[in-house]
Amino acid sequence: MTDLTILILVVLLAFAGGVAFMHMPAHGRHGRVTHPQRVPFLGGGSQDSHAWQRFHARFYSMLLMFIAFEMEMMFMYPWAVVFVAEGTKAMVEMGMFLGILSVGIVYGWREGILRWQ
């Protein structure tokens, strides 16, 4: 058997297995499924709200601030090693990087992210 034949057999076997597993629950079911069986289990209680309820993302702006500080620290350590070898070029590149991050931090500060309410 060639490699191509084995590959085709494996793909066909995977496809046939997928089709078989998709149709298997329909054959093992006895009778109709009642409403309590369709409701998701929530530890015995009934649902208080809909599953598609919207949640406020108040943490989003704080998360962006965290990512700005985290990225800054993550690139500072390898930069210190490169700075020894490159010199002024590495200093200018890090200055541009910190400048871009500083714009995001100043924006967050102006929006009141750092104010705890």
Contacts of residue 101, defined as CB under 8 A and 6 or more positions apart, other chains included, come to: 68, 71, 72
pLDDT value of position 86? 84
pLDDT for residue 35 is more than 90: no
10 Å CB burial of residue 82 (0-12, 13-18, 19+) is middle
CA distance 63 to 59: 6
Higher pLDDT, residue 59 or 19: 19
pLDDT for residue 5 is more than 90: yes
pLDDT for residue 27 is more than 70: no
pLDDT value of position 97? 85
What is the arithmetic mean of pLDDT over 45-54?
69
With pLDDT > 70 as the criterion, what percentage of the chain qualifies? 79
Instruction: Report domain extents, the chain.
Output: 3-38, 60-111
Summarised one tens digit per residue, pLDDT across range 58-98 is: 677 777 778 877 877 787 888 888 888 888 888 898 889 88
